[in-house]
C-alpha cells in the first residue's frame, strides 16, 4: 500500500490545540480523568446503597446525602465531558493521516483491533468531507511561544455515503489544506467549508501578544517545529 501513497501528514512537534504538549501527556491526562469519573460513579452508587439499606437517617440527613450524590453525578459528567469530548480531538489529531489511492486512515481505536477491522476508510465509501473551523493553539517552543489561530480550518470530518461521520481530530490549518487539496484533486471528493480563507494567527512570545498575522505570513515565518 505504501507504493500508492498520495499523502502522509507531517506532525507538529507539539500536539495542536491541546492543553498539554504531547499526545502521550494528553492521553495520560485523559486516562486519569476517566479513572476519576469511574471512581466517582462507584462511590456514588455505594453511597446510595448505604443510604437505602444501611443508614437510618432523618429526613434532613437523607436530603443532604442526595444533594451530595447529585453533586457527585454532576462532577462525573464534567469529567467524562473532558475525557471523551475535550481531550479526544487533540489525541485523534496527533495520529497522522495518510491518503492512498484506495483509502484514507482514521484515528486508531482499540475496539477495531479487537474485531480485526482496519483503521482506514475505503475511497469508494466516502461521500464528502467537512472542514471544521474555529480557534486553535499551536505551541512553538513549549508554552512560552505560541500561535493561536482564529477563524481558521482546524479539523476535518469524513462523511460516508451511509451518513456515518469520522472525525480526524484537530489539525493545523496547513494540514487541513493539504488533506482537502489532495482529496479534491486526486479523488474528486466534494469539500464542504462553512467559511472562507485560512484565518489568521495571534502571535505570542513569552506570553506577550506581538501581533495578528494572516495565515500566509505565519507560515512564511517558518516558526512551527515539526516532529522528527
Domain boundaries, the chain: 23-86, 126-220
The Cα–Cα gap between 55 and 19 comes to 43
How remote is the C-alpha of 73 from its chain's centroid? 25
Residue 20 has pLDDT above 80, yes or no: no
Confidence of residue 3 (pLDDT cuts 50, 70, 90): low
CB neighbour list of residue 143: distance below 8 Å, 6 or more residues apart: 21
Q: Annotate 106-139 with b (16+ C-beta within 10 A) or e (fewer).
A: bbeeeeeeeeeeeebbebeebeebbbbbeebbbb
* Least confident residue range of 52-66, 121-135, 188-202: 52-66
Give me the percent of the chain exceeding a pLDDT of 70.
99
Position 82 scores a pLDDT of: 87
Q: How confident is the model at residue 60 (pLDDT cuts 50, 70, 90)?
A: confident
Alpha helices in the chain (DSSP H): 23-53, 59-81, 88-93, 110-115, 173-187, 215-220
Grid coordinates given for 225? 517545529
Mean predicted confidence (pLDDT) in 112-134 = 93
> Which has more pLDDT, 98 or 52?
98
**What's the whole-number mean pLDDT along residues 115-136?**
94
Going by pLDDT thresholds of 50, 70 and 90, the confidence category of residue 201 is very high
- Asked whether residue 2 carries a pLDDT value surpassing 60, the answer given is no
Residues 151, 200 contacting (CB under 8 angstroms): yes
The predicted model gives 89-97 an average pLDDT of 92
Query: What average pLDDT does the chain have?
Result: 91
Bigger pLDDT: 22 or 216? 216
| Helix/strand/coil percentages in the chain, nearest 5 | 45, 30, 30
Amino acid at each position: 500500500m505504501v507504493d500508492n501513497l498520495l499523502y502522509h501528514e507531517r506532525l507538529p512537534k507539539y500536539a495542536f490545540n491541546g492543553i498539554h504538549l504531547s499526545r502521550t501527556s494528553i492521553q495520560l491526562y485523559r486516562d486519569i480523568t476517566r479513572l476519576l469519573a469511574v471512581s466517582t460513579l462507584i462511590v456514588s452508587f455505594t453511597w446510595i446503597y448505604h443510604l437505602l439499606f444501611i443508614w437510618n437517617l432523618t429526613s434532613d440527613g437523607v436530603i443532604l446525602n442526595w444533594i451530595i450524590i447529585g453533586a457527585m453525578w454532576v462532577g462525573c459528567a464534567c469529567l467524562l465531558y473532558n475525557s471523551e469530548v475535550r481531550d479526544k480531538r487533540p489525541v485523534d489529531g496527533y495520529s497522522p493521516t495518510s491518503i492512498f489511492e484506495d483509502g484514507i486512515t482514521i484515528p486508531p481505536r482499540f475496539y477495531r483491533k479487537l474485531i480485526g477491522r482496519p483503521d482506514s476508510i475505503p475511497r469508494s465509501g466516502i461521500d464528502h468531507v467537512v472542514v471544521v473551523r474555529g480557534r486553535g493553539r499551536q505551541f512553538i517552543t513549549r508554552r512560552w511561544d505560541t500561535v493561536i489561530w482564529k477563524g481558521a480550518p482546524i479539523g476535518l470530518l469524513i462523511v460516508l455515503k451511509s451518513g456515518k461521520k469520522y472525525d480526524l481530530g484537530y489539525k493545523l490549518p496547513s494540514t487541513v489544506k493539504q488533506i482537502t487539496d489532495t482529496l479534491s484533486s486526486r479523488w474528486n471528493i466534494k469539500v464542504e467549508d462553512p467559511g472562507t480563507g485560512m484565518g489568521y494567527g495571534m502571535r505570542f512570545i513569552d506570553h506577550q501578544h506581538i501581533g495578528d498575522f494572516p495565515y500566509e505570513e505565519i507560515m512564511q515565518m517558518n516558526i512551527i517545529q515539526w516532529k522528527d
